[in-house]
Every structure is written in structure tokens, then in C-alpha cells.
Amino acid sequence: MITARELALNVLQSLETGKQRSDQILHRTLQHSAMNRIDRALATGLVNGVLRYRLQLDFIVGQFYHHNLEKAAPVLRNILRLGAYQILFLDKVPDWAAVNECVKLARKYKGERMSKLVNGVLRKITPESVTLDEWLIEKNPQEQLAIQYSHPQWLVERWIAAFGREKTESILGYNNQFPLFGFRINRLKTSFKQLFSDTEAAAAHEECSLENFFLSKDFNRFEPAVADGRLTVQNPTQALACLLLNPAPGTVVVDLCSAPGGKATFMAELMQNSGQIIAVDRYEQKLPRIEAHAAALGITIITTVAADARHFVPDIQPDAILLDAPCSGTGVLGRRAELRWKVSPEKIHELQTLQAELLDHAAELLKINGKLLYATCSIEAEENSQQIEAFLQRHPDFMADQAKAILTLPGERQGFDGGFCQLLRKIGE
């Protein structure tokens, strides 16, 4: 039977070439395993930990690996990362066990010679032998932060230029913490008072600054309430866009790029399940999830449509449009660990073009005096404030209320991811 460490290695290997997200691969792989709860937790922790600390792990392993680590076979790199992560970050795993299990993996996947190399490298790595501060002292401040917090250096430099060193270090630290779960209370089915009449539930939650939201480290405690529609898993930052748009009951709202549907269902709750929400997404296979979620919540006003949001035209002119645009995701790097290694300046530029196309099409669909809410889970100006400025230059028939623009930096508010939203109104020529 496959071990937790081998399963983690297989997931990391799949990420080397594939485009799928780590949580999707991990979920699918765990579904086909017979592991117990403890081993599943270990495999999940290993994958997320190695992805989160990859740069720092490579830097540390490089101090003891007397070859060019970048030229090593990907499977060997991932085995060494797994071993170093266990030794340096997991107190409950004995060092000898971490080394022995990684030696077995190396023998299985790369043969006896590589297993001896892995054994030699990992036995030299201990909390006492790793003097990170000393090794970093000769490097420039940006590279020090990049390795210390395991983020790409170009991203660290960009954030320091935009937000200053202190805020950047706060963002980097937040991205390496275990993220809290955000929960939204479904006001169509229950209330804060009803939900927390159970003292055990009350003890497991943390307050959130948004009404009818709370935070928790314990998903399992609230899973039954998620399953029966009393709760939705949603980070409070994602809710800000809906609250800013504030769609009125009885109105028609188009939700472009809707999947997985968290904003659509929240808008339906705000509208008291009165009116119409057209949830549009390019990928038809994602729509049943929106429909099932709406049904569990007791929501009946959401209609799903599979279409490219750049070309979709509804049968009725909407009163409001929410555009949750595809973006770099730099506001959610704490929740999606591998994304920090996939985002690039080129990718941000590519996304800018798509975002502009989506905004321009949304502008055409909206009626006079209608509201357009633009949102991303990015903290990059090119995708946010600069995108809005360029849109307003192209569309003099729109105005932006600067008081209704929100940029949230990761960790700036307890439990809030990073993100941006801006309310626009169509005023006509």
C-alpha cells in the first residue's frame, strides 16, 4: 500500500508538468487511496508544506548537496525537499524516520546510488546545522526576504515598491500561515444566534468583522452545517464585492465568471431570494456545482449558463453585473501555495488584456444607471486600480465612486485574504 510520503511525492511530481491545482490532484489521489485519517493529514501537510517553503528548502538543501540542484532530476529534488521539510518543520516526525523513508523513495524511483546520496545529504540536515541567518547575511535585503519567506524575488521586489518593506513582510508572513476557514451564515435558513446555541460550535469559531461571517481553524466541526446549507465556505474578502454591489431584491443580476458560485449565492441571500441571477461560466462542467450549492442553500433565483463571458448576451438587460475577473491570484497565495511559483510578470500582462475585454463587454450589456462591480483576488495595481483607470478612459459613460473601491492586503484584517473590488455606475453619454 502506498505511504503518505510516496503519495505526497506523486502529487508533487504531477505538479511539475501539469496545469492542475495541487488541491485538485491531492483530492483525487486521496480518493483512490485506503489511507487512514492520520496518514491523509500527513500527506496533505507534506504537499502544502513543500510547496509553501520550496525556495527555502532548495536553498538549504543546496548547502549540503554538492552538485547543481537545479539540474537534478525532479523526483530527486522533491524527495530531498520532502526530507528537509520533515526534519526542519515537523516536530512530531523523528529525523531518522524522515531520512529512512526518503531513502526508500529514492531507492524505488532512482536506484541504489541515488538512495545513498539522499541518505548522505539528509543526515547532514538538522535544526542545529541549518544556520539560515548566517547564510543569508551576504545577500541583498530582497533576496533575504525571498528565501526567508519562500517567495519569488521578483514578487518581493514588486511588493516592496508598491507597499513598503513592513507591509510586504506582513504579507509574506501571512502567506505562510495555516489559513483560517471563512464561513458565511445563510440567513435564508438560520441565524448567528441559532447556529451558536451549541456551545461546542461557539467555542470553535472566531469573530469576523463582517456581519454573518465567522472564522475557524476547524472545518470538520462545521461540515454538517455546510452540507445542509446553513453555512457556505467563503473568505470574507470575497464577500466584500457582493456587499459593495448590494443588489436589491427583485432585480436582475449577471454574474460573469461565476464558478464556483460563492458570490452568486451570497448575492441571492442579500436579495432575499427574490429576482434573478444569471451565473455565467465558460466551463460547463463547473455549473452543476453552482446549481447543487444553490439548492442546498434553498436558493431558487440562480440560472446557470455555459458561455464565454466576453461574448455572452442575456435575454434581459441586467440591473447589475458582477465581474469576478480571472487574475494572477496574488491575494490568495497563502491558500494556494503553488501559485507563487506559477505567476509571472508575463502572466499578469496577459491577464490584463483578458480583464479589459471582459470589462468592455460587461459595459455594453448594462442598462443606464446600472451598476458594474469589478473584482479580483489580486493585489497588483495593473489588474486593479490601473485596470479601472484605463476602463474609465475608454468609457466616459461610466463613473467610479472612489469611496467604493476596496483593496485588501493579505492578513491586513484578521482572516482576510487579499483582493480588490470597485463599484462603477453607467451614467450614459
Question: In the chain, what are the domain boundaries?
Answer: 4-132, 141-173, 181-233, 236-426
The CB density around residue 140, as the number of other CB atoms within 10 Å, is 11
> Strand, helix or coil at 194?
helix
CA separation for the pair 91, 78 (Å, rounded): 20
Q: What is the DSSP string of 116-169?
A: HHHHHHHHH--TTT--HHHHHTTS-HHHHHHHHHT--HHHHHHHHHHH-HHHHH
Class of domain 236-426: alpha beta
CA separation for the pair 382, 317 (Å, rounded): 30
β strands within 312-369, DSSP E: 320-324
Query: Could you tell me the pTM of the whole model?
Result: 0.93
CA-closest candidate to residue 185, choices 232, 224, 220, 222: 232
The CB density around residue 423, as the number of other CB atoms within 10 Å, is 22
Strands 213-216 and 181-185: antiparallel
Q: Are 85 and 122 in contact (CB under 8 A)?
A: no
CA-closest candidate to residue 102, choices 114, 89, 90, 88: 114
Q: How large is the C-alpha radius of gyration of the chain? A: 24
CA-closest candidate to residue 189, choices 124, 110, 121, 273: 273
Which of the residues 208, 242, 257, 377 is marked catalytic?
377
Q: Are 188 and 163 in contact (CB under 8 A)?
A: no
CB proximity list for 409: less than 8 A, separation 6 or greater: 163, 167, 170, 171, 331, 379, 418
Task: Return the C-alpha cell found at 416.
Answer: 482576510
The CB density around residue 364, as the number of other CB atoms within 10 Å, is 8
| Cα first-last separation, the chain | 68
**Is the bond preceding 179 in cis, omega lying within 30 degrees of 0?**
no
4-132, what's its fold? Answer: N-utilizing Substance Protein B Homolog; Chain A (1.10.940)
Low-confidence residues of the chain: pLDDT under 50: none
Contacts by residues 337-343 (CB-CB < 8 Å, ≥ 24 positions apart): 337/22, 337/48, 337/51, 337/52, 338/15, 338/21, 338/22, 338/51, 340/150, 340/151, 340/152, 340/155, 340/175, 341/51, 341/54, 341/152, 343/152, 343/155
Does the active-site annotation cover 208? no
Class of domain 181-233: alpha beta
Q: Which amino acid is at 39?
A: D
pLDDT at 199: 66
> Strand, helix or coil at 424?
strand
pLDDT at 20: 77
pLDDT at 204: 80
pLDDT digits (tens, 9 = 90+) for 26-54: 888 888 888 888 899 999 999 999 999 99
Contacts by residues 404-410 (CB-CB < 8 Å, ≥ 24 positions apart): 404/244, 406/240, 406/244, 407/379, 408/237, 408/240, 408/331, 409/163, 409/167, 409/170, 409/171, 409/331, 409/379, 410/171, 410/174, 410/175, 410/331, 410/332, 410/333, 410/334, 410/379
Q: Are 366 and 317 in contact (CB under 8 A)?
A: yes
Q: In what order do the strands lie in the sheet with 302-306?
A: 302-306, 276-281, 252-256, 320-324, 371-376, 419-426, 398-408
The CB density around residue 77, as the number of other CB atoms within 10 Å, is 20
Q: What is the DSSP string of 223-274?
A: HHHHHTTSEEE--HHHHHHHHHH-PPTT-EEEEET-TT-HHHHHHHHHTTT-
